[in-house]
Structure 1
C-alpha cells in the first residue's frame, strides 16, 4: 500500500511539474459568444473567423515560436451564462479573449476578466458605455458603437428619407434599447416628432398589438432596436397586416438569416453595417478561406472577428509575450491590416478607421448606399 501511494505521489508530482511547461508551449486565446441557441447565427461566424486566423498563423509556425490554441466557450448571448463562460476561460489560462459578441453578456463578463487582468476584444458588442465611460480599460472592440450607428442612421432618416414622424420599437436589451434611444435623441433634437416608443418581447409570437399601434401612429419610419430573430417576426407581421412603414435597424438586422426568414417582406428594410470592403485582397482571402472550409458564405460579424483576432496576434508579437499591460500598449499604438481595412484603437478602445454605411434591401439583397461615415 505504501509503495503504491509513493508511486502515485511521484506521478502526481511529475504531472504537476510538467503542467506549467506544457502550458507554456502554446498561447491560449479565448473565444466567447453564442455558439448555439437562437443567436448562434451571430456567434458561429466569429468562432469560424478565429479558427481560420489561428490555423493560418499556426501553419506559419505560430507566434513567437509557439502554437496558438483556441479555447471556446458558449454563452448563447445570455448574460446569465456569460459569467460561467468567463470563469471557464480564466481557469483554462487564456492570455486574451476575443468576445463576447453581445452587449449584455459582455457587460456581465467584463468584471471577471478585469479581476483576472485579461484583455477582451469584442467584434460585435456595441453598447456605448462599454468603452465611452472609461470603466473598462481592458476592453476594446472592432465594431462601431451604437452612438456611431445612430449618428449614421438618424442622419439618413433626416436628410435622405426626410421623415417628419418616427416610431421606435426595441427589445429592451442594452443593444436594442440603446440604438433606439440614441436615434430618438438625435432626431428629436432635429425637430422630428416621436409618435411611438415602446418595448416588445423578443420571444413573442404575435406582434399584432404593436402593429396596430404603428398603423394608428402613421410614422414615416420605424426605428427598430434589437436582433434579427425579433426583427424578422416583426417585419413579417407588419407586412402581413399591410403596414408598409420602412424599418431602419442596427447592424444586427443585416444578416442573411433575416433575408431568408422574411423573403419578399424584407424589401426596403434598412440597416447600418461596416462599409463594403470586398475589393480588398485580405477580404477576398478571408472569404475564400471560409467558403473552402465551411462551405458557406461568412455570416454576421465574421470580418470584425477576423480583424479582432489579427489585432490580438499582432499585439502578442509586438509585445513579445502576453503580459497584459504590454499587450494593451501594443494594441493602442499599432495599426493592423484587416479585411475591413487598416484599423487601430483609439484611447477609449474603439476601432478607428472603420467605415460604416447604410444598407437597403433591394431584390432580396442588402445593397450599400452612399451614406456612410468613418470612425476616428
Structure 2
C-alpha cells in the first residue's frame, strides 16, 4: 500500500493512542505567586525554582489517584510584592481553576490575597511571616516557615543572651512584613531587659539611609534591628560603615540570603546577623544533598526558601497519593492531620495553619557568604 494511503490510518491510530493516554492522566496545576520582577525578584525566582524542582520529582514518581496518573504543571505569576497586583494574581489563578498555590512571598500580599483564594477553595502555602496572615480564619492556608513572633523574638534573645548588648535601635520599612517583624523584636527586647534607644522608618524602595542612620548613631545603640528586605539591608550596612557606626545590623529571614553578600560586599561580614526558619544544614545531610541538586539544576545556590517551597509541594503530592484525592479541601484536611519530613524542616500544622515547632537558625556572614551560628 502506498505511504500516502497509509498515512491517514497511522495518524488516526496515533490520535486514538494520544487520547487514551490523556484519558489516563489528570493534570494538576500548581500555582506560584511571588515577585518575579522588581528588587525582590531574586527571591521570587528562587521560590519558583523550588516548586519547579518538586514538580519534576513528583512527575517522576508517576503518582496514581483514582486510576489516573497525575501530571503536575507549574502556573507561575508575578505579584511584584504589591498588594493590589497580588489580589489580581489571586483572582487570575482562581478563575483559571488552579486549586493549589505556593506563595505569596510578601506578607503584605498574602493578607489581602488570602480572602480571594479562600473564596475559590484554593489551598495556599505561604512564607508570609506576619502573624496576621494566619489570623483570618482561612482553613486551607498554611504558613510553611516560622512566623514573625518566632523570628523576631529569636533575634532579641540572641542579642541579649549571646551578643550581650544593652541598647538597640530599630528601623522598619513600613511593609506588613517589616513592621510586623520589628514589632515582635521590640516586644521580646523589652522582656529581655534591652533598652530601645531609637526607632526610625524607611520604605522598601529606599536606597539612602544616611539621615536615619545619623539619628541613630547619636543614640549609640549596640545593635540596629532592621525589619525589611535584603535590597535595602545591604546598602544600609555599607552606609553604616561609611558613617563609622560600630553597631551590628540584625534582621530576619529576608536578610539570610546570598543577595546580602552580592549587594553588600565586605560590609556584611561579621556585621549582619539574621534569623531564618529551619535548622542548620550539616555536611552529608539530606538538606545538603538537596542544595547540591538545586545548584546542579539551576546553576546557582538556593536562597532562603526554595527548600521550603519544595518541601510543601512534595507534601501536597504525598497527600494526594496517600489520601487518594486531588480535591484541594481533602488535601488540606490531610495536611492538617499528618506530618511530613522535608529537607528543610519537619512539617506539621496547628488548627490555624501555623508550622508547629518551627526551628530557627541564626547566621552571620563571612567572606560575603552566610555562615550558620546556632539553631533554636
TM-score (norm 1): 0.88
1:121 corresponding residue in structure 2: 125
**Distance change >3 Å, CA 58–CA 217, structure 1 → 2:** same
In the alignment, does 2:290 pair up with 1:286?
yes
The residue number in structure 1 matching 2:183 is 181
Q: Any idea what the Cα deviations from partners look like across 1:213-241, whole Å, max 9, x if unmatched?
A: 11101001111100001111211111111
State whether structure 2 residue 346 is matched by structure 1 residue 342.
Answer: yes
Q: Which residue of 2 aligns with 1:47?
A: 48
Q: Which runs of 5+ in 1 are unaligned?
A: 1-17
Contact 2:229 2:255 in 1 (8 A): yes
> Which shows bigger deviation, 153-162 or 358-367?
358-367
In structure 2, distance between residues paired with 1:63 and 1:341 = 26
The one of 302, 325, 346 aligned to 1:298: 302
- Rounded to whole Å, the distance in 2 between the matches of 1:23 and 1:217 is 68
Quote the residue 1:96 is aligned against. Answer: 100
Determine helix, strand or coil for the equivalent of 1:149: helix
CA distance in 2, matches of 1:177, 1:242: 26
Q: For 1:161 and 1:129, how far apart are their aligned partners in 2?
A: 30
Which 5+ residue runs of structure 2 have no aligned equivalent?
Answer: 1-18
Q: Distance in 2 between matches of 1:24 and 1:108?
A: 34
Residue 186 of structure 1, CA deviation: 1.3
Cα deviation, 1:108-134, whole Å, max 9, x if unaligned, reads 210100111211001x21111212x35
Q: Indicate if the aligned counterparts of 1:63 and 1:313 stay in contact, CA closer than 8 A.
A: no
What is the rounded CA distance, in whole Å, between the counterparts of 1:283 and 1:354 in structure 2? Answer: 16
User: May I ask how many residue pairs the two structures share in their alignment?
Assistant: 351
Separation in structure 1 between the aligned mates of residue 189 and residue 357 of structure 2, nearest angstrom: 26
Q: Which residue of 2 aligns with 1:364?
A: 368
CA distance, structure 1, for counterparts of residue 312 and residue 61 of structure 2: 19
> In 2, distance between residues paired with 1:294 and 1:96?
24
Counterpart CA distance in 1 for 2:23 and 2:97 is: 12
Shift of 1:313: 1.2
Matches within 5 A, 1:180-329: 180-268=182-270, 269-273=272-276, 274-279=278-283, 281-329=285-333
CA contact (8 A) 1:41 1:300 kept: no
Structure 2 counterpart of 1:153: 155
Mapped contact 2:281–2:288 kept (Cα < 8 A): no
**C-alpha distance in 2, partners of 1:297/1:265?**
21
Question: Quick one: distance in 1 between partners of 2:24 and 2:249?
Answer: 50
Contact 2:123 2:329 in 1 (8 A): no
Structure 1 residue 24: deviation in Å? 7.4
- Structural mapping, 1:20-35, within 5 Å: 25-35=26-36
Higher mean Cα deviation, 284-293 or 145-154?
A: 284-293
Q: Which moved more, 1:83-92 or 1:318-327?
A: 318-327
Instruction: Give the conservation status (yes or no) of the 8 Å contact 1:177–1:225.
Output: yes
